[in-house]
Amino acid sequence: MDFLIPEELKQLRESARRFVTEELLPLEPEYADKHDIPDDIRARLQARTKELGFWAFDLPEEYGGGGVGVLGMCLVFEELAQCNVPAFRAPSVFTPFLGPVLFHGNAEQKEKYLQPVIRGDKRTCFALTEASGGSDPTRMATRAVADGDEWVINGSKIFITHADKADFVQLFARTGGNGREGITCFLIDKGTPGMRLGQKFELMSPDRPWELVFDNARVPASHIVGEVGRGWDLAREFLGMGRLIHGPKAIGRAQRALKLAVDWANQRNTFGAPLASRQAIQWMIADSEVELHAARLMTYHTAWKADRGLPYHMEAAMVKLRCDEMMMKVVDRAIQIHGGMGLSRELPLEVMFRDARSRLITEGSQEMQRMIIASELLSGRSAIDRIGD
C-alpha cells in the first residue's frame, strides 16, 4: 500500500492553506455567524481563485476544470473547512456547487446549464428532500405528469440550500412507479411560473435553507436529465459524493478546534501549573488526535476508491458517519478545555459546535448511514473484502 500523497497534490494543499490564511480568515470575525457573504465579496474571491488557477480545480479537465480528482478535492476542502464562514464550508469561492447530475445531461443541457455553472456565471441547487419522506425517497410526493411536450409538476421540497440564489433547480419528482422506481430529474429555470420560494428555515447552524413550492409548474420534456423513471440513480450518485465530502469538511474543522485546544492548554495556567499538565486535558487531546487520524485515513481511502472508479457507496456512508461524529466530539472537547471562554462568541468554537450538531443530520442522518452499512453487510458485502477492490 502506498500512503504517500502525490507531490502535485501536496503543493495544491499548501496553496489552498495560504489562500485560507491570507484571504478568508480575515473575513471570519464579521461573517462567522452569517448564512452567506455579500455577492461582491464572493465575486472578488472567485476572481482571485481564477487568477491563481484554483477555480473549478476538482472538475474534469474536459470541462475546463483542474482534474485533481476526489483525493485532491478532499485535501483542498479540508483546508477550506478551517475557515469558520458558511460560504467557505460550502466552498463556492474555489469551485461551483454542482454535483454529478449535470454531467449526465445531453449536449444541449451541458451547454445551457453545466458550462455556465462551471464558469461561475450561474448557480444551482439540488431539490430532493420532502417533509413527508426525509431520507426515505419511497415517500416522495412531488409529482410530475406528462402533458404533451411538457410535464406539470406539483408538490414541495424542504431544506433546499441555495434555493434563493439558484438560477435553476435540479428537481427530483415522481413520474410513475413505486419506491425508488419512477423518479425523474428535471431542470427548472428560475422564474418558471408555478415555482416559488416558500418557508425560509432558521436552523441552529448559520445555514438558511428554503422550501420550494411547485403549483402546476410546467417544464419542457427537453429539461429531463437522463431517462424518465431513472432519476434515483442520479440522486444516489449525488448523495454518495455528498456524504464523502462530509469527511474533509469535518476533518478540517475538527483540526482547527484541536489546535485551538492545544494552544489554550499550553498558555492557560490553573493552580500554579499549565492546563496542559493535567492528565484529564492530555487524554482529551490525545483522543481527539487519534480519532482525527482514523477519520482522515478512512476519508482518503474512500477518495482513492472513487478516483479509480471503484464502488464506494458503503464507504461514503462510513465516512459520513464516523467523521461527523468525530467532529462533534473534538469540538465538544475543545469547548470543555477552554471552559467558559469556549462558550463565548469571542472564539469560533460556539459556531462550530452548532455546525457540528447539524451535520449529524444533513446529507442523511447517522441512523440512515448505519442502515446503509448494515444493509451492505447483511447482504454479504463485507467491507473487509473491499479495501483493495
Could you list the active site residues? 363
Phi-psi region of 370 (alpha: psi -120 to 50; beta: other; left: phi over 0): alpha
Report DSSP state, residue 137: G
Helix (H) or strand (E) holding 145: strand 143-147
CA–CA gap between residue 262 and residue 200 (Å, rounded): 38
- Cell 432519476 sits at which residue? 231
- Cell 485546544 sits at which residue? 261
- Amino acid at site 12: L
CA–CA gap between residue 122 and residue 39 (Å, rounded): 13
C-alpha cell at 389: 477492490
* Cβ atoms 102, 112 nearer than 8 A: no
Residue from 370, 351, 380, 374 nearest 34 by CA: 351
Helix (H) or strand (E) holding 124: strand 124-127
Helix (H) or strand (E) holding 183: strand 183-189
Do the bridges between strand 168-174 and strand 224-225 make them parallel or antiparallel, or are there none, so unpaired?
A: unpaired
Give me the torsion for CA of 344, 346, 351, 354, rounded to 10°: 0
- Cell 438560477 sits at which residue? 167
* Cβ atoms 368, 313 nearer than 8 A: no
